[in-house]
A and B are shown apart, each in its own frame.
Chain A
């Protein structure tokens, strides 16, 4: 009898042997084996763009919300009024946790560390991927620098965690800028002579994108970090290379926007949106049918059949409305649908009857009875490059009017009358303001204006943003939250913030 007992116990025990505990996941990827193949590198590459897309609304807010574009009438509760009014202090410090940018950086670091060890079928593909990753890392660090100034520099993926040595200081801006430039160099080196757009589409980073970013970065470092002429020249050189890379202005604004025009040659790098993958955030700049359908547009046509189901969190400021209020400029109606309370038709802005505006650049497409916000949203397009060349030229004391007029001519199209519309070279400050105004009209909603003002110099920010006054210069950089310091005691609060 005892024999049977032991057999039974052994049988039970056997079913519970240790090897049963080693499971492999049927539906999830673990660290083991992820970086062993080219396939892994390519899914990680896709991941980088999906992550960038998740950051897109933050990049937009960071690049535009503190400028003078928004803050006008909304017909629902407005968002981010604190940013618009530069009402910023430690307690309400926005974008706590560095706007999640270090999560993106960790993953790019992971990519840059592991991809070189993978053998690709075509090494050129690998080089292109490396060029993309360095370019994206430079974009992220540039965003950090522009937002917070001094920030930690992290170039390796997080490995083992030792709580005792985790705290890390903010690196000085100059070091951060050096790192950004190093990444730009590494990106260009990786692209080498490969001028192609990955898979022939402009929704991936490319050599042209790195050059556009390089121009942007060098103007900044030349103007704000003491780089001076050398940096401006470097910027101009980089920007002027782009035209040869199958990049050009769209013939008209009508050919630029709309889902049907995606991947046009003006786009250098755009974030892709597609139904069932992800929709962009510009639905927050529209509204609900409840409010919109009873209104009329500026030609007096009823909005009753306008298909929409969004929110109205941001309204163009009166300054924006007035600046754009030129019916010869195709950017006026390309930027906004103006809503009025009656059907009289208002060719120019009419305050008592003005109800609000719908942002028109990225309105997606109507499919059935639903609007799908699937416009690709450019990070860099050629108009941006043209006007940055103008900036570089102006800073180098050259005449920027050719570039400015190139943009105006496209905007006015058949209405362009050189005598009235053309810009004539003026003083350096006048030129700078002309470039800023042109960029203002050109890039509404594209996350540029705050950076443009900043890049032009502190006085331009103070002059244009009514919520900032002399003495508020420290507010151009954001404070960090107490939570960030609590997690990382070596962090020092941004200079100037005491509350």
Chain B
């Protein structure tokens, strides 16, 4: 797709149509070539103007120009995307100029959707990614580059799984739970970041305020991310090759206890549990069965090595790693065990990645082309995980007539996403990594030495990863194709018609096969069900877009008008089927299955959006800027109110272009200053399902051979469009000859008629109904700073920063019987007002409470039984025993917030939120001669994290889970001065959390609302995300064969400055076991022929 280049058009218009061509006497003809500094490629279409006159010229295809000028005139040479250069004409007849790529923030060109603008004339809030970030790190998903680099965007890497897309939320999201995915357009086609090759990308822009996004109307409330891929440049052809090699390394902060401690703490924990619950037989299988701390292991192949020491097994003590100790519960017997300290590392594999990229590009005045080929092979850090991608890209354009240019763009990728066959991230990082240190890796030979046969462990969900790693085959193949054909036709002067048809297809193919596997031990039962299944998902998106663009200036009045229409259809089709009882492990496909497993399945769903849109940009002499955009969208997802109108209007004032300003002393400091103001309306249809407004009778499953249906949602034909109106005020300012630039925005976004689930009384039969549920408001500010601290020929030092802050408020809710029309929420005691109070949930006039953390406050730990008994007047309704007044040494003394002598749900306290207060990033770039050092960091502060992989281990509600090293600090009769409660089996005395292990913000007993404050951690972090040192090899060595050669080393995710116990502080709130992003070291090379 070739976007209209407004500025070139503007300049051409100025030159050829609006201003009479005047020439002065004594002029001579000056000729020369304009090239791009760095690569020395000619710049066709650059403008040369004699300063102070309207006399000018443009360069031809080879960058050559000719112009009439007098000695003493000043030539102003400019080209979009490059810093303008001024040259004084002396006696010479040939003036060659090389232009530097313009890095000045406030002059950059930004893509705005159906067009582009320079930031100088932009009146809306748009951020552009500095694509330098894309050049060096190995990225299996390009969206990771956005973390901390775009003000206003919260990008959370939720997993280290290669290929996966981070969670992206703009300005706090428009949903009550703080989510809402931006519309992502790749060359104008709704798409995603998945499987995109970062080397194919020319630019990424984020449209933020409603006036900018209104052109995308009904899908734009959560912002719009525009990804533009590369196209051929007019000029010499070139060949570029890039290679990156990386090694990925674990960032393993979770420390576990050793086998002896594991056995002692757990056996003691069971005894404490029995005492607390007054049941002396509880969990006996964990004491004497084949469990991690139980003595039911055997000498050869049990999952765990723990067993009672006896004459028949004491030979094992001669083997390294085996030892024995007295049973902490019964000193008359000794426990024999093996300490397997590396057991948690079995989930890891050696991990490398290789990334090749080859491109060809070039063009002349008639046409241009770009070809890119990529191959990425990225092993994941955990067993069996990885991502492989082959990508191909073609784009070309050709001028078939003087006023008609056709273009085509094709992006193809072929990828294999391999997830861990052991299970999801939480299973791998909590269960498999948290295996007891008494686990067996290999079976023992009869003489006590290790065999080379992998022990099985307990079972496939919680066993020896080395045994199970090849048992579950999970193959994925995804093909993505986006292809478009377009025509740009200059119908009459200044008026261009563009029509583009595009097609986007995703074919995702998953094949699963379970080989025969054992559970329990190598003599345990062999499961030969050999389930095989296949699933195919197909997405088809077709889009037809037509625009008419009119660009003209009348004197100082500059107009750029666009109208367009668009039709979009999204169709999803999925099928799946499975078999069981294949006779052999050798055939993984369904054809060997003996019978169907489950019911074969296919499903289709689609939606359509049809739209008309337009934009008018006007400026007066580049001083007073005005923009108006609109979109009229209709969506099949709504019932009686399918269409709505989404306008946006914006104003800007280039104060620095005022003569009075230029004459003032301020202009010496402030080089540019532009206040902006915008207001617009956006829609959001993501919250709607394709046919949900018609009510649904959903499948209830098969009963006696027939499928049953029942009313599963009510028809809501009268739903209105959710409308987000954003008032945005911005200031673009630069100081000291553009060496320091700042872009700031403050905004208030009201999401009116918010389409959200209204919680219903349960007697209705529904938990909630989708409705136009009131108004919420995002308020925040964001800032982007860029400074050139040193700017010399040989030495430059640049720093950049982004910072973002956002808060969500509830403005209005539908009338109901509650105070403040509250929906959901938690009832607690407010010690300040001395009254009960509902917090959280949704309440008019308050912040959205769904990210609130409400916890029981730990006062201290009962030092000894006398200390505990002193509280025998306090009733703790969460205690497991029938006597709720009986407290034990080592348990938590809770703060009785209301002082009523009863610890119950009223005694909770709001301790924070799961979303950060501030986030952003810092970058710095130092260039010395041919060396360049680039450092990128990102940070977030103010969010709380519940690391459930750790806390569940501390509570040990899994049974066979190793304990975090904090348990070593826990209360014991000999360690009484501590903040860590005693370790009671299965969180028996409710020290770690007091409810269940749920994750619902609506539930009063979920971890979010019923944890122990002591186990919540501050998520504040600063990540040293990337450090790259590169060297441009001087090209004079290569006799023009090589135009550019750079080599570099990069370290990624090198260090986190954080206090959280887990490895992923980015994820606020509950973490049930996250796959941390690896620490990666890359060497790379980039060569251009």
Instruction: Give B587-642 interface residues, CB cut-off 8 Å to A.
Output: 596-599, 602-608, 610-612, 634-636, 642
Chain B residue with the shortest CB-CB distance to A485: B827
Interface 1/0 per residue, B1003-1046 and A, CB below 8 Å: 11100000000000000000000000000000000000000000
Question: Are B696 and A89 in contact (CB-based, < 8 A)?
Answer: no
Q: Are A487 and B459 in contact (CB under 8 A)?
A: no
Contact between A103 and B765 (Cβ–Cβ < 8 Å)?
yes
Is there an interface contact between B528 and A368, defined as CB atoms closer than 8 Å? yes
In whole angstroms, how far apart are the Cα atoms of A107 and B696 in the complex?
A: 12
Whether B519 lies near A47 (C-beta < 8 A) is: no
In the complex, chain A residues whose CB is within 8 Å of the CB of B528 = 368-369
Residues of chain A from 62 to 83 with CB closer than 8 A to chain B in the complex = 72-78, 81
Q: How far is A10 from B705 in the complex, measured between Cα atoms in Å?
A: 52
Q: A167 to B817, Cβ gap below 8 A? A: yes
**Contact in complex: A17, B610 (CB < 8 Å):** yes
Query: Beta-carbon contacts of B988-1014 to A below 8 Å, as 1s and 0s?
Result: 000000110000001111000000000
Residue on A nearest B643 in the bound complex, by CB:
A18
Question: Is A243 located at the chain interface by the 8 A CB criterion?
Answer: no
Chain A proximity of B15: nearest CB distance (Å): 24
Select from chain A the residue with minimum beta-carbon distance to B594. A368
Tell me whether B458 and A290 are in contact (CB under 8 A).
Answer: yes
Closest to A368 in B: B581
Contacting B520 at CB < 8 Å: which of A5, A76, A290, A486?
Answer: A290
Could you tell me the distance between the alpha carbons of A421 and B458 in the complex, rounded to whole angstroms? 46
Q: B959 contacts which of A30, A76, A481 (Cβ < 8 Å)?
A: A76
Chain B residues lying within 8 Å of A168, measured Cβ to Cβ, are 761, 763
- What residues of A have a CB within 8 angstroms of the CB of B875 in the complex? 499
A305 sits at the interface (CB 8 A): yes
B527 at interface, CB cutoff 8 A = yes
Docked-complex contact A48 and B815, CB < 8 angstroms: no
Contact B761 A488 (CB under 8 A): yes
Contact A22 B636 (CB under 8 A): yes
Across the interface, do B815 and A166 meet the contact criterion of CB distance under 8 Å?
no
Given contacts A47-B700, A50-B703, contact A486 B691 (CB under 8 A): no
Query: 0/1 per residue, A154-169, Cβ < 8 Å to B?
Result: 1001110101101110
Q: Which of A4, A25, A106, A484 contacts B691 (CB 8 A)?
A: A25
Within 8 Å of chain B (Cβ to Cβ): is A121? no
| A146 touches B (CB below 8 Å) | no
In angstroms, how far is the closest chain A Cβ from the Cβ of B179? 22
Does A53 make an interface contact (CB < 8 A)? yes
User: With A277-B701, A486-B841 given, is the CB distance from A161 to B769 under 8 Å?
Assistant: yes
Q: Which of A15, A51, A151, A486 contacts B567 (CB 8 A)?
A: A15
Given A157-B711, A276-B599, is A89 in contact with B763 using a C-beta cutoff of 8 Å? no
* Given known A-B contacts A12-B499, A290-B520, A110 and B711 have beta carbons under 8 A apart: yes
- Check if A294 is an interface residue, CB within 8 A of chain B: yes
Contact B290 A291 (CB under 8 A): yes
Known contacts A8-B499, A22-B636, A163-B816; A91 and B565 CB within 8 A of each other = no
B975 → A minimal CB distance (Å) = 27
Q: Write the chain A residue with the least CB distance to B456.
A: A290
Q: Which of B16-24, B189-197, B363-371, B877-885 contacts A (4 or more CB under 8 A)?
A: B877-885
Q: Which of these, B284, B524, B606, B705, contacts A289 with CB under 8 Å?
A: B524
* Residues in A whose Cβ lies below 8 Å from that of B877: 89, 91-92, 499
**In the complex, chain A residues whose CB is within 8 Å of the CB of B603:** 27
Q: Is B822 positioned at the interface, with any CB of A under 8 Å from its CB? A: yes
8 A Cβ contacts from A108-142 to B: 110
A53 — nearest CB in chain B belongs to which residue?
A: B703
For A368, what are the chain B residues with a Cβ–Cβ distance below 8 Å? Answer: 528-529, 580-581
In the complex, per-residue mask of A11-25: 1 if CB is within 8 Å of any chain B CB, else 0: 011011110111101
Query: Cβ of B957 < 8 Å from any Cβ of A?
Result: yes
Known: A73-B284, A77-B959. A370 touches B703 (CB 8 A): no
CA distance A92 to B706 in the complex (A): 38
Is B434 an interface residue when CB atoms closer than 8 A count as contact?
no
Min Cβ gap A201→B in Å is 7
> How many interface residues does A have (CB within 8 Å)?
108
| A370 partner residues in chain B, CB cutoff 8 A | 527, 529
Question: Given A5-B548, A30-B697, are A161 and B758 neighbors across the interface (CB < 8 Å)?
Answer: yes
Any A CB within 8 A of the CB of B824? yes
In-complex Cβ contact of A15 among B544, B705, B709 (8 A): B544
Task: Please count the residue pairs between chain A and chain B whose beta carbons lie under 8 angstroms apart in the complex.
Answer: 326
| In contact, B690 and A164 (Cβ under 8 angstroms) | no
Which B residues are in CB contact (< 8 Å) with A4? 491
CA distance A154 to B526 in the complex (A): 51
Min distance, Cβ B612 to any Cβ of chain A, angstroms: 7
Q: State which of A38-46, A187-195, A388-396, A428-436 sits at the interface with chain B.
A: A38-46
Across the two chains, which residue of chain B brings its CB closest to A103? B765
Q: B824 to A27, Cβ gap below 8 A? A: no
Complex contacts, B902 vs chain A, CB 8 Å: 499
Q: Give every chain B residue within 8 A of A274 (Cβ-Cβ).
A: 704-705
Q: Are A489 and B817 in contact (CB under 8 A)?
A: yes
Q: Does A356 contact B (CB under 8 A)?
A: yes
Asked if A5 and B708 make an inter-chain contact with CB atoms under 8 angstroms apart, the answer reads no
CB pair B702–A277 under 8 Å, yes or no, is yes
A163 contacts B995, CB within 8 Å? no
Check: A309 CB closer than 8 A to any chain B CB: yes
In the bound complex, do residue A107 and residue B710 qualify as a contact, i.e. CB atoms below 8 Å apart? yes
What chain B residues lie within 8 Å of A203 (beta carbons)? Answer: 703-704
Q: Is the CB of A28 within 8 A of B818?
A: no
- B715: Cβ under 8 A from any A Cβ: yes
The distance in angstroms between the C-alpha atoms of A468 and B548, with both chains bound, is: 80
Instruction: Tell me if B492 counts as interface (CB < 8 A to partner A).
Output: yes
Interchain CB contact under 8 A, A8 and B546: yes
- A173-213 interface code vs B (CB 8 A; 1 in, 0 out): 00000000000000000000000000101010000000000
B125 at the binding interface (Cβ < 8 Å): no
CA distance A258 to B210 in the complex (A): 65
Q: Which residues of A contact B499 (CB under 8 A)?
A: 8, 12
The answer, yes or no, to whether A97 is at the interface (CB within 8 Å) is yes
Interface hub of B520, B814, B994 (most chain A Cβ within 10 A): B520
Among B303, B759, B764, B838, point to the contact of A290 (Cβ < 8 A): B303
A437 CB within 8 Å of chain B:
no
Least CB distance from B1011 to A in Å reads 14
Chain A nearest Cβ from B866, distance in angstroms: 26
Minimum CB–CB distance for A6 against chain B, Å: 10
Closest residue on chain A to residue B761 by CB atoms? A488
| Cross-chain contact A30 with B758 (CB below 8 angstroms) | no
Interface residue? A418 (CB, 8 A)? no
Establish whether residues A28 and B519, one from each chain, have CB atoms under 8 Å apart when the complex forms: no
Residues of chain A within 8 A (CB-CB) of B520 are: 288-290, 293
Residue A349 CB within 8 A of the other chain: no
Interchain CB contact under 8 A, B642 and A290: no
Residue B1069 CB within 8 A of the other chain: no
| Measured CA separation A272–B702 after assembly (Å) | 10
Task: Please indicate which of the listed interface residues A47, A74, A103 has the most CB atoms of chain B within 10 Å of its own CB.
Answer: A47
Q: Is B1080 an interface residue, CB under 8 A from the partner? A: no
**Chain B CB within 8 A of A460 CB:** no
Q: Which residues A485-499 have CB closer than 8 A to chain B?
A: 486-491, 499
Taking A44-B697, A46-B707, A167-B761 as given, write out 9 further A-B residue pairs in contact, using a Cβ cutoff of 8 Å, ordered by the A residue number: A12-B499, A16-B610, A25-B694, A27-B605, A152-B763, A168-B761, A293-B524, A487-B760, A489-B818
Q: Which residues of chain B have a CB within 8 Å of any CB of chain A?
A: 277, 281-285, 289-290, 296, 303, 458-459, 491-492, 497, 499, 519-521, 523-529, 544, 546, 548, 565-567, 580-581, 596-599, 602-608, 610-612, 634-636, 642-643, 690-691, 694-698, 700-711, 714-715, 758-767, 769, 771, 814-818, 821-822, 824-827, 838, 841, 875, 877-878, 880, 882, 902, 904-905, 957, 959, 986, 994-995, 1002-1005
18 contacts between A and B (CB under 8 A): A16-B566, A18-B643, A25-B691, A43-B709, A47-B700, A47-B708, A53-B701, A75-B289, A77-B959, A85-B882, A87-B880, A103-B766, A157-B711, A158-B765, A164-B814, A368-B580, A369-B525, A369-B529
Q: Which 6 A-B pairs have the closest CB atoms?
A: A106-B765, A46-B708, A47-B708, A31-B695, A16-B610, A75-B285
